[in-house]
Amino acid sequence: MRNPKVPLLLVLLLILVYLTGCVKESQPDQAIIQVTPEPSPIPPPVHNLTRNTYHLTIQSAIDAAVHGDEIVVSTGLYNENIDYSGKNILIRSSDPESTFIVTKTVIVGGSLGPVVKFISGETNDAKLIGFTIRNGNHLWGGGIYVNNSSPVIAGNTITSNQGRGIGIVNYSSPIINQNTISFNTASLINGGGIGVENNSSPTITENTITSNFSEFEGGGICVHSGTVIINANTINSNTAGWHGGGIFLGSSSTASIIGNTIHFNTSPNSGGGIFVCHTSTLLPAFERPLGWGTTRENIPPSLWYDMTIAGNTFSGNSHGGDPNNGA
């Protein structure tokens, strides 16, 4: 006789297996835990590219650098006054070719002295490239002060400083190239944009020197006792309180002034465009009219007349003196 319990047990076993499978199928998948890595800390903005070290300020990077280092500065506002401290290093913005980057990489002097100093015998291997330099305050050089040094200053905007935009004194021979030098005010001293003194020999090329003011001489550029090359610059809308709205070439000086555009500069006395002292030497002599730098002190003899002499183009300069004595 067959046992009736066997089919029943079999049925119950099948039901149990079925229910166990359903429970397993109904269980949610095992939770997946996602681990988000912590973001890398943002490095300080001043990078010594040569040594791969980072610094919070430009000056601290200079202090830690040695000759030959390259320091790259990120965009930002740097409230400091920096001194190269005799180190022949390159300090540049992240992209000196970008007007936007130059405008956004700003060293602000806070009226506490020159914004940048080269005063310890730096050579042409010391370079400052691609910054906006503003709000310095120093009689001899509110923006950049160069004393017995010869750095390269290129691709910067040097603006709104009290004192000369760039002051160059005491046997210095810097290279000043492709900068915009504007709205600097030199009170109690000559040379609103650039002032050169004491046997210095700068090379000043391809700059835009505009809207600077000197209380005395040389609203744009003033040279006293120096030998300078002033080539291919745009020198416009500068004002001198005495003589030489655009350029003043003082006594015991020699200048090669070739290929510049000199316009809309003003002087209340003489030499709206250029004032040339009779004891100075203006080159190239063979291209200048008779009397430049000898018996006539101002050039050219025209108030508004457009003219080109030695590759220089003069226009729209004005002065308050004799119309035969200035541009």
pLDDT band of 319, cuts 50, 70, 90: confident
Share of the chain above pLDDT 90, in %: 65
Please tell me the distance from the alpha carbon of residue 282 to that of residue 42, in angstroms, as a whole number. Answer: 54
Given a cut of 70, whether residue 68 has pLDDT beyond it is yes
Residues 6+ apart with CB under 8 A from 298: 243, 270, 271, 274, 275, 276, 319, 321, 325, 326, 327
Residues 6+ apart with CB under 8 A from 276: 249, 282, 292, 293, 296, 297, 298, 299
Question: Within 10 A of 290 (CB to CB), how many other CB atoms are there?
Answer: 7
Given a cut of 80, whether residue 229 has pLDDT beyond it is yes
Residues 6+ apart with CB under 8 A from 324: 301
What pLDDT is attached to residue 35? 63
Please tell me the distance from the alpha carbon of residue 197 to that of residue 172, in angstroms, as a whole number. Answer: 9
Given a cut of 50, whether residue 8 has pLDDT beyond it is yes
**Quick one: average pLDDT of 11-23?**
55
In tens, the pLDDT along 106-154 reads 999 999 999 999 999 999 999 999 999 999 999 999 999 999 999 999 9
In tens, the pLDDT along 288-299 reads 454 443 333 344
Phi first, then psi, for residue 276 (nearest 5°) are -120, 115
Token digits of residue 103? 């405008």
Please tell me the distance from the alpha carbon of residue 289 to that of residue 306, in angstroms, as a whole number. Answer: 15
**Quick one: average pLDDT of 145-164?**
98
Q: Are 166 and 146 in contact (CB under 8 A)?
A: yes
Sequence letter at residue 136: G
Please tell me the distance from the alpha carbon of residue 163 to that of residue 189, in angstroms, as a whole number. Answer: 8
**Quick one: average pLDDT of 43-56?**
98
**Quick one: average pLDDT of 232-260?**
92
Beta bridge partners of 266: 239, 318
